[in-house]
Amino acid sequence: MGLAKRYTAIMTDPMTLYIYDHCPYCTKARMIFGLKQIRLNLQILLNDDEETPIKMVGQKMVPILELEPGQYMGESLDIIARIDRTLDAPVLVGTQNPGLDEWLAKTAGVMYRLCMPRWVDAPLEEFATDSAKAYFTKKKEAMIGPFADELGKSDDYIQMITMALKVLAPHIQSATAVNGTLSYDDIHLFAALRSLSIVKGIDYPAEVESYRHAMARASGVNLHDDIAR
Ligand SMILES: N[C@@H](CCC(=O)N[C@@H](CS)C(=O)NCC(=O)O)C(=O)O
């Protein structure tokens, strides 16, 4: 890749990604920009704003990437594939470990039950209004039950996650790439760990702790440790 193309990318307006800060799929889409060092403009939508995403991609769903003014694409994995092909060689070239997929699928339920009631209570831009909070709460409580009940089960859930993290730890081959070379596994795993960072009181095994910090640095996606609850 020529210097000229990279220079042009630096000097022209960055693309805009429409997101919710808490959204793990948005974390995935954000990561590829950081990993490839491509500038990005982030726009956080209010969680009850249905009109804006529907106008852009026909459904109330983020992330949405504005490739050119007025040209939009949804679906995190499509965005990642598109950006990974842009500028210089792809970075997500490592092989994946099917065991990690399994780990993520098994932990997803508990993670959401821990995270959802905490996200809506946190100072995140998508929940800046009472109506945005009420919208999220109604939609997600219909899926997992009352948030108050879920918060009451926190100790059990945290214990389950702590055990799951101990299982994960020996599979982290390097702090900068779970399988030694960056791959889609890093996208999926960091997005899950970043979600979990809203939960206070999790004791991370050393390998997981190094990995989530190194990945946050490399991808430019902040953890929520500072607002954990
Ligand atoms: N398959 C989509 C899933 C994206 C998704 O589920 N986004 C959630 C936020 S995490 C969303 O926008 N849901 C609609 C809502 O919250 O009202 C992708 O990978 O981009």
Mean pLDDT, each 10-residue run in order, the chain (229 residues): 72 92 98 96 98 98 97 98 94 98 98 98 98 98 98 98 98 98 98 98 97 98 98
Is residue 80 within 8 A of residue 25, CB to CB? The reply is no
Q: Are residues 107 and 68 in the same domain?
A: no
Nearest CA to ligand 1 atom 11: 61
Please report, for the domain that includes residue 29, its CATH number: 3.40.30.10
> What was the pLDDT predicted at 173?
98
Residues in CB range of 219: below 8 A, 6 or more apart: 30, 31, 34, 35, 190
> What was the pLDDT predicted at 56?
98
Nearest CA to ligand 1 atom 2: 75
> What was the pLDDT predicted at 183?
98
**Does residue 62 have its Cβ closer than 6 Å to ligand 1?**
yes
Q: Is residue 93 part of a domain?
A: no
Question: Omega into 63 within 30° of 0, i.e. cis?
Answer: yes
**Does residue 18 have its Cβ closer than 6 Å to ligand 1?**
no
Q: Are residues 80 and 106 in the same domain?
A: no
Q: Are residues 102 and 80 in the same domain?
A: no
Final residue belonging to a domain, choices 29, 59, 84: 84
> What was the pLDDT predicted at 7?
73
Nearest CA to ligand 1 atom 12: 61
Q: Is residue 140 part of a domain?
A: yes
Q: Are residues 78 and 112 in the same domain?
A: no
Q: Cα separation of 188 and 41, whole Å?
A: 22
Q: Are residues 137 and 220 in the same domain?
A: yes
Q: Are residues 122 and 206 in the same domain?
A: yes
Per the structure, the count of domains in the chain is 2
Domain that holds residue 68: 3-84
- What sign has the CA pseudo-torsion 147, 149, 152, 153? negative
The minimum-distance atom of ligand 1 relative to the CA of 74 is 20
> What was the pLDDT predicted at 13?
86
Q: Are residues 139 and 27 in the same domain?
A: no
> What was the pLDDT predicted at 99?
97
> What was the pLDDT predicted at 1?
56
DSSP 8-state code for residue 226: G
**Does residue 227 have its Cβ closer than 6 Å to ligand 1?**
no
Q: Are residues 78 and 104 in the same domain?
A: no
> What was the pLDDT predicted at 5?
74
Q: Are residues 110 and 21 in the same domain?
A: no
